[in-house]
Amino acid sequence: MSDGGKAAHRPAIAATAGFGGGFVSGLLGGGGGSIMIPFMTGPMRMSQHLAHGTSLVVITSAAAVAAVAYGFHEPVSATLVVALGAGAVLGAILGARGAARIPAMQLRQLFGLFLIAVSVRLLVWDSVAPVLSAEGWGDPAAGLGLGLVGGVMSGALGVGGGSIFVPGLVLGLGVGQHEAQGISLWVVVIASVMGGLTHYRQGTVDTKAAKWLAPTALPGALAGAVAASFMGGRTLQVVFAILLIGIGLQMLTTARRRIRSERRAALAVAADAA
């Protein structure tokens, strides 16, 4: 397990990142890693793998706090939580194993475009007719499929499953925005526990940084969940869509930079070999 190096000597930055990540996770049903990871790989100078592992561990506890808070204001479907959770765990394993076999940067670009398209759909139409009208066993079956897709993308790309679970529940099954975010939080907890344990055993968790991140992420998640409870469903939907656009643009930008960097490196190697 890493002691964190320089990251351990930046408690103020870690505390800020923890609160911000927790707040976004509680407010929007996931996505806290999109706030914390840039802090960790930037001013905290962590490696990408270490940042992802540390973020997973912190977000697991923060999402659990937020999920409990959501439960006081909005009941969630236990059936969908279990179905999505089972699919997400299986999908995360498959995604992580297959990540090395796919062109990750091109897939990242496609996923970024997908997030932007979904966000525009949520922003333009006030009312959203569900794609599926599932009844009986159809509802958990659809949830299992959605969880599987979200888990695969999360495992392969290192993105939060909430960016898939919430719009999938809203657009696909017609679940209300508040309930969809509450369900997503529980699924994030289920899926992240295994991922966090794996990273911990591999030594890709910065325990010293986590000691500063977690204490502020927990109240941040609670504050985000309380703030969400005071927002109308449509307002929350718009805020969620705007965040998804930001995540999509960030994925497009980083993927494009990585592709350019890899091409330059390949050209340099070819020039040296000539």
Query: 126-137 pLDDT, tens per residue?
Result: 655 555 555 556
Residue 130's CB: how many other CB atoms inside 10 A?
14
Q: What is the mean pLDDT of residues 74-78?
A: 83
Query: 192-206 pLDDT, tens per residue?
Result: 777 777 778 878 788
Confidence (pTM)? 0.74
Residue type, 239: V
Query: 239-273 pLDDT, tens per residue?
Result: 888 887 887 888 788 888 888 888 888 888 888 77
> Confidence class of residue 3 from pLDDT cuts 50, 70 and 90?
very low
Task: Give the pLDDT confidence score for residue 129 in this predicted structure.
Answer: 58
Query: 54-67 pLDDT, tens per residue?
Result: 888 888 888 889 98
Task: Give the pLDDT confidence score for residue 7 in this predicted structure.
Answer: 47
CA 135/CA 108 separation, integer angstroms:
34
Please, which residues have CB within 8 angstroms of residue 106's CB and are 6 or more apart in sequence?
255, 259
CA dihedral 199, 203, 205, 209 (to 10 degrees): 170
Task: Give the pLDDT confidence score for residue 110 in this predicted structure.
Answer: 77
Residue 191 has pLDDT above 60, yes or no: yes
> Confidence class of residue 21 from pLDDT cuts 50, 70 and 90?
confident
Q: What CA–CA distances, in Å, run from 74 to 111, 138, 169, 228, 259?
A: 30, 23, 15, 11, 43
Residue 207 has pLDDT above 60, yes or no: yes
> Confidence class of residue 4 from pLDDT cuts 50, 70 and 90?
very low
Query: 101-110 pLDDT, tens per residue?
Result: 666 677 678 7
